[in-house]
Chains A and B, each alone.
Chain A
Amino acid sequence: MSVVTAAVTRRFDVETVRRDFPILSERVHGKPLVYLDSANTSQKPRAVIDAESEVYETYYSNVHRGVYQTSVRAEQAFEGARQKLRQFINARESREVIFVRGTTEAINLVAYTYGRANVKAGDEVLVSAMEHHSNIVPWQILCEASGAHLKVAPINDDGEILLDEMERLIGPRTKLVAVGHVSNALGTVNPVKRIVEMAHARGVPVLVDGAQGAPHLKVDVQDLDCDFYAFSGHKMYGPSGIGVLYGKAALLEAMPPFHGGGDMILSVTFEKTTYNVLPYKFEAGTPNIAGAIALGAAVDYLNGLGMDRVGAYEHELLTYATDALARIPGLRFIGTAKHKAGVISFVLEGVHPHDMGTVLDFEGIALRTGHHCAQPVMDRFGVPATARVSLGVYNTREEIGVLVQGLLKVAEMFR
């Protein structure tokens, strides 16, 4: 057995993991909380909560400004977090790691800077039919402003991108391909590396929406060779309001800045302003200091578990849950791709997802019901909404059992 395989198969002790998450001892309507909404936002381990408190309690001050010791310490911790994130996604350099509010801001940053500079009237931006609204709307705004066209690569009935069709849609006017790593609504893991190869063969850069990728898969941006990779802290056990845009240094260097303000400049006169170097050029204003440091703690936490083991455990639980749900009469899965991460979208015949959500809430079960910010996906599958189970490192087979019992109650009530 190779070393890597040994690391993967080392037992994943979910009970120990659960003890790291204080919220899991809460009760909802008198029942233990069964949190199955991690693709929406994940819960936080004690280490992340403590890291954020520690900043405010012991060394909080602004970064990049002070000469006093507390400021130096805050700065070191903040830049230390950037290093951790660089390693987490295996970026070449830490200046390629831009702190932003989250995936949405990261994608907008690229649309407003790279997009405005490079996408002109008649040009095209290509997305897939399974994108989250945050990887559609910024491109629509860009296209409207520039006179460019938004093209959409279709998906099949399993919820997989039709790669041949996608390849055909990458043409001489295509200026950017923007695609999700993992679909939040369907759970599909897209063949991002292959898509990057296809696009690069035609000289087109690729942005990967990694909001659902980073928390569940080992991400290596150099191996993927993507040009941009956007992700959020709050979905990977870190705080909300902090996330990362990774970009290849050469592209980031050539892009105009996004927000203007303090920190993103080297010198300002009323005649001329010189912008700061990377990554600060894109980090105007006081950043989310404690959030970034706590996100670094989330990275430490995930590294401690091992991303290979996280992926393997979640996949095993996904298979278990899929089999268990498949036995419920009238349940239909939306999204049956061969390669999936821990998301199960489904509808229950004769029951609206919102009624399901309300009844399951009384069983302590938190799951998302609605369109999951992916209305085009709902339209594609002809449903107004779905219920979605999304798994995290703390979910168990017992919780899936509670869900199945809850769904049987729901079916009995509404049919």
Chain B
Amino acid sequence: MNAELRELYQEVILDHSKKPRNFHALPDANRRADGFNPLCGDKATIYVRVEGDVVKDVSFTGKGCSISTASASMMTETLKGKSLEEAERLFQRFHALVTASPDKAHDNAAPELGKLAAFSGVCEFPVRVKCASLPWHTFKAALEEQAQPVKTE
């Protein structure tokens, strides 16, 4: 397989896309938002239970490509137990990672991103950036309790 392609579809990403974690609704969620990518019709709903200033639990449902499914799955794993402030910082870091100019991708893979660094290959594929960032934007909207569905366009 082509190197660029292998960089995008890393093993961990393929694994999470085939077996997404926290892929269910959250009955006791106290925040929730819907995300939609009109370009490909992908939909994601993010459920969050915030207690105090901690993301106690987070899950998702929806239908999307392997990049968006893996991104949502890995995001929920990462965010569980994080403070709202840490979550916000991760959002910024992740956003910087996937929107970096390709030659800077590795500089942006901050240590705190952990396995989310696997998404560094996404910045080589401008049309796929939205796939990776949709769950994160939707999560942010859930925290801010935006009434309107999030759109990537």
Partners in one complex: yes
* Contact A354 B5, CB 8 Å, known A371-B41, A384-B41: no
Who on chain A is nearest to B64 by CB?
Answer: A352
Rounded to whole Å, the gap between the CB of B134 and the closest CB of chain A is 12
Question: Contacts of A370 on B, CB cut-off 8 Å?
Answer: 39-41
Complex partner residue of A29 from B2, B18, B39, B43, CB under 8 angstroms: B2
* Contact A385 B9, CB 8 Å, known A354-B131, A414-B66: no
Q: By the criterion of a CB under 8 Å from any partner CB, how many residues of chain B are at the interface?
A: 23
CA distance A355 to B71 in the complex (A): 14
Who on chain A is nearest to B41 by CB?
Answer: A384
CA distance A355 to B122 in the complex (A): 12
* Contact A359 B5, CB 8 Å, known A352-B64, A354-B128, A414-B66: yes
B73 contacts chain A at the CB level, 8 A cutoff: no
CA distance A413 to B10 in the complex (A): 11
CA distance A414 to B125 in the complex (A): 18
Rounded to whole Å, the gap between the CB of B4 and the closest CB of chain A is 8
Complex partner residue of A354 from B2, B4, B65, CB under 8 angstroms: B65
Rounded to whole Å, the gap between the CB of A408 and the closest CB of chain B is 13
Question: Contacts of A371 on B, CB cut-off 8 Å?
Answer: 40-41
CA distance A18 to B128 in the complex (A): 32
B117 contacts chain A at the CB level, 8 A cutoff: no
Question: Contacts of A29 on B, CB cut-off 8 Å?
Answer: 2
Question: Contacts of B88 on A, CB cut-off 8 Å?
Answer: none
B86 contacts chain A at the CB level, 8 A cutoff: no
A353 contacts chain B at the CB level, 8 A cutoff: yes
A375 contacts chain B at the CB level, 8 A cutoff: yes
A378 contacts chain B at the CB level, 8 A cutoff: yes
Who on chain A is nearest to B66 by CB?
Answer: A355
**Category for how many chain A residues contact B:** 10 to 19
Question: Contacts of B4 on A, CB cut-off 8 Å?
Answer: 362
Question: Contacts of A413 on B, CB cut-off 8 Å?
Answer: 1, 9, 14
Question: Contacts of A375 on B, CB cut-off 8 Å?
Answer: 41
Who on chain B is nearest to A351 by CB?
Answer: B66
Question: Contacts of B41 on A, CB cut-off 8 Å?
Answer: 370-371, 375, 378, 384-385
Rounded to whole Å, the gap between the CB of A358 and the closest CB of chain B is 6
A345 contacts chain B at the CB level, 8 A cutoff: no
Complex partner residue of A369 from B5, B8, B40, B69, CB under 8 angstroms: B40
- Contact yes or no, A358 B42, CB < 8 A: no
Interface string of B106-142 (1 = CB under 8 A from A): 0000000000000000000100100100000000000
Question: Contacts of B131 on A, CB cut-off 8 Å?
Answer: 354
Rounded to whole Å, the gap between the CB of B69 and the closest CB of chain A is 8
Question: Contacts of B40 on A, CB cut-off 8 Å?
Answer: 352-354, 369-371, 384-385
Interface string of B11-51 (1 = CB under 8 A from A): 00010011000000000000000000001111100000000
Interface string of B63-86 (1 = CB under 8 A from A): 111110100000000000000000
- Contact yes or no, B125 A358, CB < 8 A: yes
CA distance A129 to B76 in the complex (A): 38
CA distance A370 to B8 in the complex (A): 20
A-B contact pairs, 28 of them (CB 8 A): A352-B65, A352-B66, A353-B40, A354-B65, A354-B128, A354-B131, A355-B65, A355-B67, A358-B5, A359-B9, A362-B5, A370-B39, A370-B40, A371-B40, A371-B41, A375-B41, A378-B41, A384-B40, A384-B43, A385-B40, A385-B41, A413-B1, A413-B9, A413-B14, A414-B14, A414-B17, A414-B18, A414-B66
Given A353-B40, A384-B41, A413-B9; 12 other pairs, CB 8 A cutoff: A29-B2, A353-B65, A355-B65, A358-B125, A359-B5, A362-B1, A362-B5, A370-B39, A370-B41, A371-B40, A414-B18, A414-B66
